[in-house]
Amino acid sequence: MNATTHIGIIGDVHRQFNRHDVTQFNQSDYDLLLFTGDLANYWHHEGLAVARQMARLDKPALIIPGNHDTLTAPQLLAEIKQWSRLRRWLAWGQPRRLRQWQRALGRVQVGGYSAHPVPGREDVAVVVARPFAMGGSVLHCQPQQQRQFGISTMAESAARLCQLVEQTSSQRLIFLAHNGPTGLGSSREAMWGNDFWPEAGDFGDSDLRQAVDFAQQQGKTVLAVVAGHMHHHVKGGGQRPWHLVRDGIHYINAARVPRIFEMDGRSVHHHIRLTLTNDGMAVAEQLCQVP
């Protein structure tokens, strides 16, 4: 078993992943890459273009689809507004778009209600939570969740995640989600706090919280919960924290958007480095300058 494992965490991409990222990650010492989703902005072809870049990665990689992945712009609006009839009608093409997206990703593995071993570590697994999450403890993309996973309610989603935790033989877990769990604050600048409603509030996912709590109740060690969705820059000003440790669990919000930006006149690409040893874990932001 490897004494040290290095995991790269790439937050919400939103079209910002290019050949420089492919080169840097392929030349890195990472044993695994985790993507929190949202490859596109609002158009499916944008996500396909990014996916084709990611397919050039040589490293083992795992992604959870976000709310901008395989949804059309009208479908995304219908999900936000919770227009039940329209969102069901607009979801008819999502299975086809998902197949296209998966093909474009090549060897990058797409997760959802699934568990995956960490390369070189029999004792650690990545548990991938509910795809297409949009926050607020609402089961978004219900037609697709029903077709793909047989999930039609948040209660069913929580039960499926807890069942997955119970069936996973690994005793040490890393959760990969698109949106983070409830319970980490209700202020607008909280890690998964609501910054677009005047009343603010906890915008995390309750099914993910139940799964994390269940894992601890089962005596398993939750090393980290990795997600994105709620961008670091808070609407109206300020920054939300991207990392905190609570009850021994590292919570990581990797959604630094845009993840490619200018600093001191040079292009900088953002990701997060997670170093796992037999004794613990270290987490650090990585700002990689393009030569």
Q: Is the pLDDT of residue 291 over 80?
A: no
263 forms beta bridges with 266
CA 41 – CA 259 distance, rounded (Å): 13
pLDDT digits (tens, 9 = 90+) for 125-150: 999 999 999 999 899 999 999 999 99
Mean pLDDT of the chain: 95
In this structure, the chain runs to a length of 291
pTM attached to this predicted model = 0.96
For 153-187, the DSSP string reads SHHHHHHHHHHHHHH---SEEEEEEEE-BSSS--S
Helix 94-105 to helix 44-54 angle, to the nearest 10 degrees?
A: 20
Residue numbers of the domain that contains 247: 4-289
Confidence bin at 199 (pLDDT 50/70/90): confident
CA 74 – CA 236 distance, rounded (Å): 26
pLDDT digits (tens, 9 = 90+) for 232-242: 999 989 999 99
Confidence bin at 48 (pLDDT 50/70/90): very high
16 forms beta bridges with none
CATH code, domain with 145: 3.60.21.10
Q: Is the pLDDT of residue 1 over 60?
A: no
Number of domains in the chain: 1
Please, where are the H alpha helices in 220-280? none
CA 15 – CA 47 distance, rounded (Å): 7
- Computed on alpha carbons and rounded to an integer, the radius of gyration of the chain in Å comes to 18
Q: Is the pLDDT of residue 104 over 90?
A: yes
